[in-house]
Amino acid sequence: MSGQAFTRELKDAVTGRTALLVVAVLLLQLGFITSYVGALHHPTPHRLSIGVVAPPPAQQQVVAGLNQVPGEAVHAVPVADQATAVARIKDQRLYAALVVDPTSTQDTLLVATARGKSAATAAETVVTAAEQQQGRTVRVQDVIPLAPGDANGLSAFYLVVGWCVGGYLVASILGISAGSRPANRERAVLRIGVLALYSVAAGLGGALIAGPILNALPGRIVALWGVGALVVFAVGTVTMALQCLFDVVGIGLAVLLFVVLGNPSAGGVFPPPLLPPFWRAIGAWLPNGAGTDATRSVAYLGGSRLTGPLLVLSAWAVLGIVVALAAVIARPRGGRTATVPPEPAPAA
């Protein structure tokens, strides 16, 4: 094959649009690497909330000492007593609490591995170092332990990752098979209905697998089911909206939003106080982070602080529906339309 013939074949096989999509995929891949490595390669505590229970003369001294840990690693606050400290940990107001025993040289650090094993480890490391400087020792008490089947505390996060993957994959498949943008408003409503039915099934399936089948997560199945259905539906509708606006490129944007940005910032591997500023700031506002927070709350924390994550997920779902419908109404001729077969010619 001559050089000119090869050039013609190359131009015919790889169009300008295809080349741009390949470049976009390369950038998305590099963004994936940057996001995950950047967020997770060097966890450092920042304002890790620790309560201090101690007699009044010593309490302010201990609080001040912890707050002087370099890099604003700790945000220490006084707490009235141990029962209050435990309640605040369960209510997600504290990650840990140091209970000082004035009659001994050993104090107690209350942690909650269910809120993140790495956060409990970070609190233990910081407090142990501070106590050693005072010639004291620390024993650790886990007030909200992980379930036996959730050894590293990652089951809630991986469950939400699975729900998110299902949401954007099913929306992508519907777009590929029937057109990125539905043909009209009625078709858009039908597609949203399919997403809703899929979300209900996916939410229940995930809750059953993580719950009674694998015994990885405790908590009420119905509550986990509801959270899962909302996560899948929110991710699915937003992916549908992105496809309505940007055609096949919308799938890449969904991956950017829910995989590149959403997963490392979700607080699954490391909770927010151990993440860099950017990921710490965005995590709770994306479906991945909101879903992880809601799942952990249902599984371990008695539903505390559940309203915020549910509102975030609901807002994403509503946004996806509104944008998708608006895009279809503004440009109603996209997508596939039904073809009506011609009537047979009358018999002679």
Q: Summarize pLDDT for 186-213 with one digit per residue, the tens.
A: 999 999 999 999 999 999 999 999 999 9
Residue found by looking up tokens 């997963």 in the block: 263
Rounded CA-CA distance 280/347 in Å is 74
pLDDT for the residue 183:
84
pLDDT for the residue 41:
92
Nearest to residue 181, comparing CAs of 225, 126, 243?
A: 243
pLDDT for the residue 335:
43
Instruction: Give burial (CB, 10 Å; 0-12/13-18/19+) of 93.
Output: middle
Residue 106 pairs in a beta bridge with 137
Question: How many other C-beta atoms lie within 10 A of the C-beta of residue 184?
Answer: 16
Contacts of 272 (CB under 8 A, 6+ apart): 280, 283, 284
Cα angle 184, 188, 191 (rounded to 5 degrees) comes to 140
For β-strands 48-53 and 74-78, DSSP reports them as parallel
Instruction: Give burial (CB, 10 Å; 0-12/13-18/19+) of 140.
Output: middle
pLDDT for the residue 337:
44
Nearest to residue 56, comparing CAs of 98, 100, 117?
A: 100
pLDDT for the residue 331:
83
Residue pair 235/160 in contact (Cβ under 8 Å)? The answer is no
Rounded CA-CA distance 121/115 in Å is 11
Rounded CA-CA distance 283/65 in Å is 30
Rounded CA-CA distance 203/30 in Å is 31
**DSSP, residue by residue, 220-283:** -HHHHHHHHHHHHHHHHHHHHHHHHHHTTHHHHHHHIIIIIITTTTSSSSS-GGGS-HHHHHHG
Domain 48-142 CATH assignment equals 3.40.190 = yes
Rounded CA-CA distance 122/43 in Å is 9
Q: Hey, where are the domains in the chain?
A: 48-142, 155-330
Residue pair 51/76 in contact (Cβ under 8 Å)? The answer is yes
Return the SS3 of 137.
strand
Q: What is the Cβ-side half-sphere exposure of residue 193, based on CA atoms within 13 angstroms?
A: 7
pLDDT for the residue 9:
66
Pair of tokens at residue 236: 């699915």
Residues of the chain with pLDDT under 50: 334-340, 348
Rounded CA-CA distance 80/75 in Å is 16
Return the SS3 of 45.
coil
Contacts of 87 (CB under 8 A, 6+ apart): none
